[in-house]
Amino acid sequence: MNPSQLSGLVWLKRRLGLHEEAERQYWGLLLPLFLLTLFSWIDHMIMVPLSAEISAATGLSPVRSGLLVSVYPAAAAVSALIFAPWSDRLGRKQLLLYLGTGFVISTFGCALAQGVESFFLFRVLSGAFAGPIMPNCLAYAGDALQGNRRNRALTNIMLGFTLASILGVPVGSALAEWVSWRWTFGVIGLGGLLSLLWLTSIQPIATGAEQITIRRQYLQMFGLWKRQEVRWVFAMQFFMLIGLFGFIPHMSIWLTTNYGLSASAIGLFYMQGGIGSLIGNQLAGWLLQRGLRFSLIGIGSVLMGTVLMLSTQDLLPGPWMGAMFFGIMLGGSMRMPGLQTILIELTGKEIRGRLMAMSMIVSNMTMGLGGFWSTGLLSMENGYLLGMDRVGLVSMLTLLVVLPLIWLIQRQQRSTPQPAI
């Protein structure tokens, strides 16, 4: 091996950080958090391509099939309210072990469910246990790391969403088509179990709130709403999601009935969307290091609104719907790391878990409501789902509301800088 090749290997090794103990510790902490986030996202997202097949298997009306998607985040919103103080009281690791156990059991329950009632029950339980997983993983990384390493970890944990799209949903959809949708949930449950076992190896991090009573923690959590800046951020989060998740729960039925696409074809579109998400995630990491978190949210929201508006006007033939997935996921993956960074900067470590939980309550409640408001705009006629053009228009308008809210938050930060609670 000549000197130039040797120096190249040394550079690559240093670039990857394989020789640094700090990097090994970083990845030892990050990977179990990432994997648990990954499988919880696959469990959440897999219902979109599978909702048509499961609705047919359980006898649920196609127009109401979106409720199979919406019930998951609705349950997650309620559970986040219950579990929020326990994140800071018990510690992130201990709560994640409890949540992960419930998530694995309920996901296996989905695989074994007989009839629409039992399936709904296990989806409610899955959402209740899986919903708080990601915010607690993000809070754990926020507690354990600082500076650019923290931004890098948050971006990498959010990458679980991307890989769920690129690999998880396409593979799960294909497995459902080749064997059965029950096998898909069984594999997700197994992945969650393995992630949970790995999670036991990481060190717990003290939050500084272990001695605070649960009542006091609830008072502190709801006290966050007294801050104008927090209210604007949560309002921005609401409009980032309410229109988008009016569209997503009905996407599978729309593509199946109106375009004749199979679950595996929709899964492949998710792969294209995942590539867009991967690109957006890398852009987000690069821009976050330059302090452009608000720009990420604004650009991503405008992109998503434009794509939703154009794609729901029947301007694209079925095979080109992958471009829709690409644009939606590109915009979404740019927005979320920016939002999480803004949230983490709002408070100190001792109540960060409660703030992240409040954020997840707002997020999941909004996602759950999305499927309900949009159902009223839809109808079935001659085997086709009608009304998605109206859903797309409303979605675009709600995403554009994000822009003035960004301006209000930035003005609030400039005029009345507030210390962390």
Q: For residue 419, what pLDDT is reported?
A: 46
Alpha helix stretches (DSSP H) within 200-291: 214-223, 228-241, 244-247, 251-259, 263-288
Percentage of the chain lying above the pLDDT 70 cut? 84
Q: Catalogue all structural domains in the chain, each as residue range(s) with its CATH number.
A: 25-415 (1.20.1250.20)
- State the pTM of this model: 0.71
Cβ partners under 8 Å of residue 223, min gap 6 = 421
pLDDT bracket for residue 18 (50, 70, 90): very low
In angstroms and rounded to an integer, the radius of gyration of the C-alpha atoms of the chain is: 21
Phi, psi of 379 (to 5 degrees): -155, 155
User: What residues does 386 pair with on adjacent strands?
Assistant: 379
Say how many CA atoms lie within 13 Å of 245 toward its Cβ.
27
What one-character DSSP code corresponds to residue 254?
A: H
pLDDT bracket for residue 23 (50, 70, 90): low
Q: How far is CA 346 from the centre of its chain?
A: 20
Q: For residue 190, what pLDDT is reported?
A: 95
The two tokens of residue 27 are 């990845």
CA dist., res. 290 & res. 287, Å (int): 5
Average pLDDT, the chain: 79
The two tokens of residue 376 are 């009223």
- Secondary structure class of 219 (helix, strand, coil): helix
Highest mean predicted confidence (pLDDT) among 112-121, 158-167, 216-225, 317-326: 112-121
Q: For residue 321, what pLDDT is reported?
A: 74
CA dist., res. 418 & res. 416, Å (int): 6
Q: For residue 99, what pLDDT is reported?
A: 93
Choose between 117 and 263: higher pLDDT. 117
The two tokens of residue 165 are 């799209």
Alpha helix stretches (DSSP H) within 91-146: 92-112, 115-130, 133-144
Provide the angle, in degrees to the nearest 10, between the axes of the packed helices 263-288 and 169-178. 170
Q: pLDDT for 330-370, tens place per residue?
A: 888 788 778 877 877 776 666 666 677 778 788 878 887 88
The two tokens of residue 373 are 């408001």
Least Cα distance to 259 among 392, 385, 389, 394 occurs for 385
CB 220 within 8 A of CB 352: no
